[in-house]
A and B are shown apart, each in its own frame.
Chain A
Amino acid sequence: MTGLAQPRIRIPRTARPGEVIEIRTLIEHPMENGIRGGVAGVVPHDMLTRLQVRRDGETVFTADLGNGTSANPYHVFHLRMERTAELEFLWTDERGRTARATARVVVA
């Protein structure tokens, strides 16, 4: 069983106090919805089910992913930064495998 791909995060390294920063995330994954392939043989269902984002341990954003989410899930969202913090991004697939990325944003 292979692991999930290494995700990519685009996030500012620094922010001003109170600044709302933009965060972009991308992870390579086929997001197989189990209906491709037709009679020739269906490609098995294989989906990422969740992206969870924590700041200093506290969950700030969660995406629950359904069949309508494209392959290589891409998400852009925002975060208001009041102080320097550690961010953790965690993707989980339906078999419980995870991919993780971290980032530090310095607020000054």
Chain B
Amino acid sequence: MLSRRPLLLTLAMLPLGGTARANPALEAAMRRLIGEARPEDGGMALRLPALAENGAQVSVTVSVDSPMTAAEHVSAIHLLATRNPTPGIASFHLTPALGRAEVQTRIRLAEDQQVLALAVLSDGRVRRAIAETRVVTGGCIA
């Protein structure tokens, strides 16, 4: 079993310093999606299994705390993979009509890695959540 300590350390370092800069494809994908915005932690949840038997079909749910009103809503949720051949998973464009800022889908993960969710708010701020999953059978090449 993986010790929790290295994981926590990795998460502490990830905050856009370490991982994104060390991963040019991820960095480029983030810049394309959110420009120069600096994501803040908190205010959203990214749920995915700690252990994924089948990396080809991993259930993921993103929910963002938001009243989803015309004045204050989530306008986009982006999902990025840190260790897939390409980082892009999906981008969801939301409107106040949804009433709830929550999206569930199934994703492919090639190997053990972190998944990054970015939520773009209607005032331009960006929130961020990160979750780590161990993948038993990789889901991209198989």
The answer on A and B forming one complex is yes
A20 at the interface (CB under 8 A from B): yes
Q: Note all chain A residues with C-beta closer than 8 A to B95.
A: 59-61
Q: Is the CB of B90 within 8 A of A65?
A: yes
How far, in whole Å, are A61 and B76 apart by their CA atoms in the complex? Answer: 10
- Which secondary structure dominates chain A's binding surface? strand
Q: Note all chain A residues with C-beta closer than 8 A to B89.
A: 66-69
Q: Number of residues in A with C-beta < 8 Å to the partner?
A: 29
Q: Number of residues in B with C-beta < 8 Å to the partner?
A: 36
B27 at the interface (CB under 8 A from A): no
How far, in whole Å, are A75 and B90 apart by their CA atoms in the complex? Answer: 11
Q: Which of A63, A64, A80 contacts B97 (CB 8 A)?
A: A80
**Closest CB-CB distance, A31 to chain B, in whole Å?**
8
Q: A74-B106, A75-B105 are in contact. Are A66 and B90 (CB under 8 A)?
A: yes
Q: Is the CB of B56 within 8 A of A66?
A: no
Q: Is the CB of A58 within 8 A of B139?
A: no
Q: Is the CB of A68 within 8 A of B84?
A: yes
